[in-house]
Amino acid sequence: MLKPILLVEDDTRDLELTLVALERSQLANEVIVVRDGAQALEYLQREGMFAGRAPGNPAVVLLDLKLPKVNGLEVLQFVRADPLLRSLPIVMLTSSQEESDVVRSYELGVNAYVVKPVEFNQFVRAISDLGVFWAVLNEPPPGSMKAARRHD
């Protein structure tokens, strides 16, 4: 069974562009969309409106930096502090090119930091490459499926 891709994005335009780009990449993975960091944490912990979701972690989290309620850095920090989520691949997908954001993301353990390209075809290519790499090519650490079942 294919693991879903968790997309955490609050900007409607960026959300639509990312979904189009993922669709064009022809990945079979389901894309779960949440609009803020609090919802992302609920999804990952199988709490709140996601309490009934199937066990397991997504293949990858595409995480925006500037989010309402809980920002991307806070989500990243929470995930990396949780022994059962720690190995979850997280890609910061953001428009921020601020050096402090890049540095802080890597300090907190992000797997990749991707600045959203402004040109549509470039954006589609970047998202497609990300999706294929993390959802298809990347080999997760051994035992990561067991860890994903903790909230059963």
* pLDDT value at residue 151: 38
Residue 58 inside a domain? The answer is: yes
* pLDDT value at residue 150: 38
Burial 95-121 (b: 16+ CB within 10 A, else e): ebeeeebbebbeebebbbbbebeeeee
Q: What is the pLDDT of residues 104-149, one digit of tens each?
A: 999 999 999 988 877 888 887 887 777 777 666 667 666 654 334 3
Range with the poorest average pLDDT among 8-17, 41-50, 61-70, 132-141 = 132-141
Residue 74 inside a domain? The answer is: yes
Residue 142 inside a domain? The answer is: no
Residue 22 inside a domain? The answer is: yes
Beta bridge pairs of residue 129 = none
Categorize the per-residue pLDDT at 33 as very low, low, confident or very high, splitting at 50, 70 and 90. Answer: very high
In the chain, the number of structural domains is 1
15, 9 Cβ separation under 8 angstroms: yes
Range with the poorest average pLDDT among 15-19, 46-50, 67-71, 102-106 = 15-19
**Whether residue 6 has pLDDT greater than 50:** yes
Question: Which of the two residues, 50 and 136, has the higher pLDDT score?
Answer: 50
Residue 147 inside a domain? The answer is: no
Cα 44 from chain centroid (whole Å): 10
Question: Which of the two residues, 146 and 70, has the higher pLDDT score?
Answer: 70
Alpha-carbon distance of 24 to 129, in angstroms, equals 11
Q: DSSP letters along the chain, please? A: -PPPEEEE---HHHHHHHHHHHHHTT--S-EEEESSHHHHHHHHHT-GGGTTSPSS--SEEEE-SS-SSS-HHHHHHHHHHSTTTTT--EEEEES---HHHHHHHHHTT-SEEEEPPSSHHHHHHHHHHHHHIIIII--PPTTHHHHTTTT-
**Whether residue 42 has pLDDT greater than 50:** yes
Q: What is the CATH number of the domain that holds 15?
A: 3.40.50.2300
Residue 70 inside a domain? The answer is: yes
Residue 152 inside a domain? The answer is: no
**Residue 91, domain extent:** 5-137
Q: What is the pLDDT of residues 72-109, one digit of tens each?
A: 999 999 999 999 899 999 999 988 899 999 999 999 99
